[in-house]
Structure 1
Amino acid sequence: MSMLKPLDPAFPIQSQLSIDASPVILVNVFTLAAADEAAFLAAWEDDAAFMKAQPGFISTQLHRAIGPSPTYLNYAVWQSTADFSAAFSHPTFRGKLAAYPSSAVALPHLFQKVAVSGICTA
């Protein structure tokens, strides 16, 4: 992958990995050149298969922006920050990043569900 950029520059994902939380949601927004979509999807599918086999992985879903914009959003649920960190730091996964097209930029960030009375549960 050509570039990992923080969604929140004041608190990038590298800083989030040291926080003990569970469960956690990875939200990762990808931007790329339209000509690179097929290569991006192949690389993402390979990554997802690797992540799916890792301890603590619960689920993932890839979304594509509507219209002509080649913008994608990945939503992945992990049992804990520690589980996600182990998978994200795994040498096999890190090696897979080179398969992404050079135009791809990823903005990963970890979240937790929030309870709002009468609307949603945590």
Structure 2
Amino acid sequence: MKDWPSVALGDIFEIARGGSPRPIQNFLTEEPDGVNWVMIGDASDSSKYITHTKKRILKTGVKNSRMVYPGDFLLTNSMSFGHPYIMKTSGCIHDGWLVLSNKKGVIDQDYFYHLLGSDL
């Protein structure tokens, strides 16, 4: 490890905050072609993955939110602050989430999962 360079997370990941179409009630849908709406309640403290969502939003709400994709890391900025999750599905996130999207294409997900969840 001594030969590994130290780099800023921003050099490896695109880091962004989620966003919400407002009022959210006007954008929620039960239609199967809706876009997954990732809520804090979709994440479990006992899992490192988010595999599905309970709600969906209309496609028109995507422009006021942020899309996330499989392999992206999500960090809560409320509730259990900073707990990391790895996306196993796609969807939109609200402003209670931060997303770290891999810019370089070559990372060890397990390593970063543990690093992001550590006291470091």
TM-score (norm 2): 0.26
TM-score (norm 1): 0.25
